[in-house]
């Protein structure tokens, strides 16, 4: 097939005009996909689905949620790394992404490959047992592990997550061992604790409904202060352990996301965050809105990356550690 010079020039001109036409199309012009790196049905999934729905009203386009649970909450990172920076792919950025790069070999980087958009909230964690368990306080766990080496089973939401790191610090310091049982999400882990499949669970405050219903007993929390919701439960610090573990999270897009697109997303999700419906949903899990704008959130991400590297090195969990 032959192409005339005039035809070639015309085709080239049409191709050259395409990016300009696309740039002039108001953003967003189609659905946005928000990736949630946890299984469906957990506290984070439910609250973020509501946030996406509320943000849709401000964006004029649907925000569709997709779940990719597993690997301690890091599986949305490859999606962001490979996505076009056009504003149609975003994801939750949980704390483990800033730690995983220090503990294992991954192809992505939480600073290099991400454009932070907005900080949303944060979770703290707690140690739980079944309501029928004979383990009634944190010291009971250590005593059981000491008398029954290798028999204490403790579930977390994954290898390298904040609960797992805290457990390693608590038990290693005492020369004790436990069997680590990782789960993809909060709901299935709490059901496993409730049914006796595992003896102990350590997870985020998504466990709230299980505690309030009387199915699980909360032994300790990782926050700086006692929870207003469960004021009878001590913190790790009160029990003599100098540990406070909080896990802030926000939303981000791929590397190179244009500033004007970031602003549209930030403004829509900020408006959604301060909708009373979202605050009510967070309250179910003993969480509060913890808003940070784009620049401040980006700085927090950089600080968390550095902090996690120091923690991992101190605990000997780095890729080069023992």
Cis peptide before 28 (omega within 30 of 0): yes
CA angle 54, 93, 172 (to 5 degrees): 135
**pLDDT: which is higher, 178 or 11:** 178
- DSSP lists the bridge partners of residue 126 as 203, 221
Collect all residues with Cβ–Cβ distance below 8 Å to 144 and sequence separation of at least 6: 135, 151, 152, 199
Long-range contacts, 229-235 (Cβ 8 Å, 24+): 229/286, 230/286, 233/126
- Residue 32: its pLDDT value, please? 98
Any idea which residue has 């204490």 for tokens? 152
- Residue 186: its pLDDT value, please? 85
Q: Are 215 and 194 contacting, i.e. CB atoms less than 8 angstroms apart?
A: yes
Structural domains of the chain sorted by starting position, each given as residue range(s) with its CATH number in brackets: 30-122+246-314 (3.40.190.150), 124-221 (3.40.190.10)
Per-residue pLDDT tens over the stretch 72-85? 899 999 999 999 99
Quote the longest CA-to-CA distance of the chain: 87
Any idea which residue has 């220090």 for tokens? 102
Per-residue pLDDT tens over the stretch 272-307? 999 999 999 999 888 999 999 999 999 999 999 999
Mean pLDDT of the chain: 90
pTM comes to: 0.82
Distance (Å, whole) CA 303 – CA 134: 41
Structure-block tokens of residue 153: 């089973």
Any idea which residue has 């004021």 for tokens? 231
Which of 149-180 are b and which e, b meaning 16 or more Cβ less than 10 Å from the residue's Cβ?
eeebbbbbbbebbbbbbbbbbbbeeeebebeb
Per-residue pLDDT tens over the stretch 22-57? 456 899 999 999 999 999 988 899 999 999 999 999
- Residue 262: its pLDDT value, please? 98
């Amino acid at each position: 097939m032959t192409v005339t010079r005039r035809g070639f020039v015309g085709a080239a001109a049409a191709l050259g005009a395409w990016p300009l036409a696309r740039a002039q199309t108001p953003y967003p012009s189609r659905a946005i996909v928000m990736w949630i790196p946890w299984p469906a049905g957990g506290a984070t999934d439910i609250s973020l689905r509501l946030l996406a729905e509320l943000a849709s009203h401000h964006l004029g386009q649907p925000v569709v949620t997709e779940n990719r649970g597993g690997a301690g909450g890091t599986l949305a990172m490859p999606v962001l790394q490979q996505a076009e920076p056009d504003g149609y792919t975003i994801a939750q950025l949980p704390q483990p992404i800033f730690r995983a790069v220090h503990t294992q070999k991954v192809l992505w980087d939480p600073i290099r490959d991400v454009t932070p958009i907005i900080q949303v909230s944060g979770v703290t964690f707690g140690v739980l047992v079944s309501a029928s368990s004979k383990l009634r306080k944190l010291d009971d766990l250590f005593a059981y592990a000491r008398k029954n080496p290798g028999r204490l089973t403790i579930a977390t939401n994954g290898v390298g997550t904040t609960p797992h790191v805290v457990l390693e610090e608590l038990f290693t310091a005492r020369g004790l061992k436990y069997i680590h049982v990782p789960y993809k999400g909060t709901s299935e882990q709490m059901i496993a604790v409730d049914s006796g499949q595992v003896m102990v669970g350590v997870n985020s405050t998504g466990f709230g409904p299980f505690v309030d219903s009387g199915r699980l007993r909360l032994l300790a929390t990782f926050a700086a202060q006692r929870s207003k919701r469960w004021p009878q439960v001590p913190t790790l610090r009160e029990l003599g352990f100098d540990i406070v573990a909080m896990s802030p999270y926000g939303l981000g897009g791929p590397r190179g996301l244009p500033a004007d697109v970031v602003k549209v997303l930030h403004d829509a999700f900020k408006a959604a965050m301060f909708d009373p419906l979202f605050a009510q949903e967070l309250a179910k899990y003993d969480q509060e809105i913890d808003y940070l704008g784009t620049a401040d959130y980006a700085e927090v991400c950089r600080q968390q990356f550095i902090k996690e590297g120091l923690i991992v090195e101190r605990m000997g969990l780095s890729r080069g550690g023992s």
